Amino acid sequence: MQVIVRDNNVEQAIRVLKKKMQREGVFREMRARRAYEKPSEKRNRQAAEGVRRQRKLARKQAQREGLLPRKGRGR
């Protein structure tokens, strides 16, 4: 992973790097590798993540179809 530092602005480069790492799932993987995860726990976690993903997709689809109100952007 690579980030370009412009005008010696290291703080902004660090923010960009953190955002890229978050998007790639590096922090999630580091947390998962901290301790051993039993295979049964891994299966349960992956199943729960799948359910969460499906619910999120269904919620977004319902919002697109007008069945649920859209969330405000807060801006």
pLDDT digits (tens, 9 = 90+) for 12-64: 999 999 999 999 999 989 998 999 999 999 999 999 999 999 999 999 999 99
With respect to residue 29, please indicate whether it lies within any of the assigned structural domains: yes
**Structural domain containing residue 17:** 1-35
Confidence of residue 73 (pLDDT cuts 50, 70, 90): low
With respect to residue 9, please indicate whether it lies within any of the assigned structural domains: yes
Residue with tokens 């799932």: 25
- Check whether residue 30 and residue 1 sit in a common domain: yes
Q: Which pLDDT value is given to residue 69?
A: 87
Cα–Cα distance measured from residue 45 to residue 48, given in angstroms and rounded to the nearest whole number: 5
With respect to residue 73, please indicate whether it lies within any of the assigned structural domains: no
Tell whether the model's pLDDT for residue 68 goes beyond 90: no
- Check whether residue 24 and residue 2 sit in a common domain: yes
pTM score, whole prediction: 0.58
DSSP for 46-68, written as a single string:
HHHHHHHHHHHHHHHHHHHTTSS
- Look at phi and psi of residue 74 and say left if phi exceeds 0, alpha if psi is from -120 to 50, else beta: left
